[in-house]
Structure 1
Amino acid sequence: MIRVEGLGVTLGGSEILTGVDLTVSAGEWVTVIGPNGAGKSTLLRAVGGRLAHRGSISLNGTHVSALSRRELARTVAVVAQTPVVPPGMTVIDYVLLGRTPHISPLGRESARDLAVVDGVLDRLDLAPFVGRLLATLSGGERQRVFLARALAQEAPVLLLDEPTSALDIGHQQDVLDLVDDLRRDRDLTVLATMHDLSVAGEYADRLVLVAGGRVVATGPPAEVLTEELLTTQYRARVKVLKGAHGPIVVPVRS
């Protein structure tokens, strides 16, 4: 479970988030949406223990500031928009980094660690790339590698910051279906950010609309993805259609 109470974040002298309250239950998928600059990525970075903040953030009942780096890595896995990639690293070595929290400081990967990584690589269609350098992959291929490392951590909380931004529609579906399957199988708690509102509504149990650093709406996709709210908060002309799982948001030309 993720619990955020009265979250405030200031960066470079600017107030990015103010008074944000958010709860994500175990096994729930919540996606944060909002216009550019709303504070979505900042919210995920704070929840992941990567930003100084005001207010309270707890993961599975423990305040994030009370967790050691190793404990934090065992609790929460993060897929950032632009992860730092060490130069000269191969796909297999990068994904194996996800097992680091489970390996003793002087130990090495066990058979189970290798099996977990092999399974994730297969599910994400990455097995043919294991010996390739990350620098030689396309943006979409690297995006899947970043997700593979996070899933290899087997943490109960998964934070996804625009996880499908570089993927074609087929791999978008593959990645999100995999996350959804793992969430159900492992009772995984998922907190994501997405720009594609239709995709967000298709997969999330709840949406949280953030604008100006504050939560302005929260609820099931059908209650948040309304023409009135989207027109007001995004200053966009849209048509919202009823879909099989969630609303479909279509931009409309003037």
Structure 2
Amino acid sequence: MTANLTATSAPTAVEAVDLRVTLDGACILDGVDLTVAVGEWVTIIGPNGAGKSTLLRAVGGLLPASGSVSLFGTPSAKLHRRQRARVVATVAQSPVVPPGMAVFDYVLLGRTPYMPPLGRESAADLSAVHDVLGRLDLGRFADRPLTTLSGGERQRVFLARALAQGATLLLLDEPTSALDIGNQQEVLELVDQLRRDHGLTVLATMHELSIAGEYADRLVLLAGGRMVAAGPPRAVLTEELLATHYRARVRVIDGAHGPLVVPVRGPAEQQS
């Protein structure tokens, strides 16, 4: 079954129709339809190899794809690279950090779409970086090499660079994969606060199912490059769907903010 994720009547931030991606002769995405409303948080889940990161990169224009993608009503194909960078910001799983680069300089890279070719940053660019560092409580790290920060602090810096772009759509690829549970919660609470305060739209991928269900408005379940389920977390995180597509034994417990997925062991094998 292929499910079509349809947003509410709110203005549309992302609309992907019949999205297909083939890499090295292998079909990675096979006809995905996806709609995300302005201000919504949608998280893509699925087993390894399902196509989660590929879908995110295709929406962001980072991979060649057939079908169509529109961002805030404008076909992505009609947006020049600099125009797209002012609309959508991507935080990759493991961003490349130039050796020895200070936090301030890394966040300043987010202002590249606003700088003239071969030109320098303006006073407005510097002000934007100072503002973002202040909002994310990173000002004290401005002169520190990014590599000296903790995992949670670095993740905040990666978000700061994305926010410095001034984009209203955040694409977050496994934003908590390298963090302990405390830092996971801190980063996701920060994203949710920024979404509420600044009207951001969030499209993310995530492995941690319970956390995905607590923060996302809706979930998209991919398997084999196809969308097999979509909807509110309680409709997608079911024991039947997770057993079918993850081949996992789990219990799903209803929590205050969404369903909690608990792995359980199967019956012990008989000893010979």
Give the TM-score category using the shorter length: over 0.9
Tell me if structure 2 keeps the 8 A contact 1:123–1:178: no
State which of 21, 24, 28 in structure 2 corresponds to 1:9.
Answer: 21
Residue 99 (structure 2) pairs with residue 117 (structure 1): no
How far apart, CA to CA, are the structure 1 residues paired with 2:113 and 2:139?
Answer: 23
1:1-254 → structure 2 map (5 Å cutoff): 1-105=13-117, 106-110=119-123, 112-254=124-266
One-letter code of the match for 2:80? Answer: S
Tell me if structure 1 keeps the 8 A contact 2:93–2:173: yes
Moved more, 58-67 or 201-210: 58-67
Tell me if structure 2 keeps the 8 A contact 1:147–1:163: no
How far apart, CA to CA, are the structure 1 residues paired with 2:212 and 2:233?
Answer: 8
Identical residues among aligned pairs (%): 70
Partner secondary structure for residue 20 of structure 1: strand
Residue by residue over 1:170-197, the C-alpha shift from the partner in whole angstroms, topping out at 9 and shown as x without a partner, is 3222221221122222221110000001
Residue by residue over 1:57-114, the C-alpha shift from the partner in whole angstroms, topping out at 9 and shown as x without a partner, is 110111212111110110100001122222231111001111222334434232x433
Residue by residue over 1:20-47, the C-alpha shift from the partner in whole angstroms, topping out at 9 and shown as x without a partner, is 0000011111000000110000001111
How far apart, CA to CA, are the structure 2 residues paired with 1:108 and 1:192?
Answer: 30
Partner secondary structure for residue 234 of structure 2: helix
Partner secondary structure for residue 93 of structure 1: helix
Pairs aligned (count): 253
One-letter code of the match for 2:122? Answer: E
How far apart, CA to CA, are the structure 1 residues paired with 2:148 and 2:189?
Answer: 26
Q: 1:85 to 1:162 in 2, by over 3 A?
A: same
Q: 1:169 to 1:118 in 2, by over 3 A?
A: farther
Taking structure 1 as the reference length, the TM-score comes to 0.94
How far apart, CA to CA, are the structure 2 residues paired with 1:174 and 1:113?
Answer: 27
How far apart, CA to CA, are the structure 1 residues paired with 2:135 and 2:264?
Answer: 37
Taking structure 2 as the reference length, the TM-score comes to 0.88
Moved more, 112-121 or 193-202: 112-121
Moved more, 114-123 or 85-94: 114-123
Q: CA deviation at 1:248?
A: 0.6
Q: CA deviation at 1:168?
A: 2.5
Partner secondary structure for residue 98 of structure 1: helix
Q: CA deviation at 1:121?
A: 2.6
Question: Based on CA coordinates, which of the two structures has the bigger radius of gyration?
Answer: 2
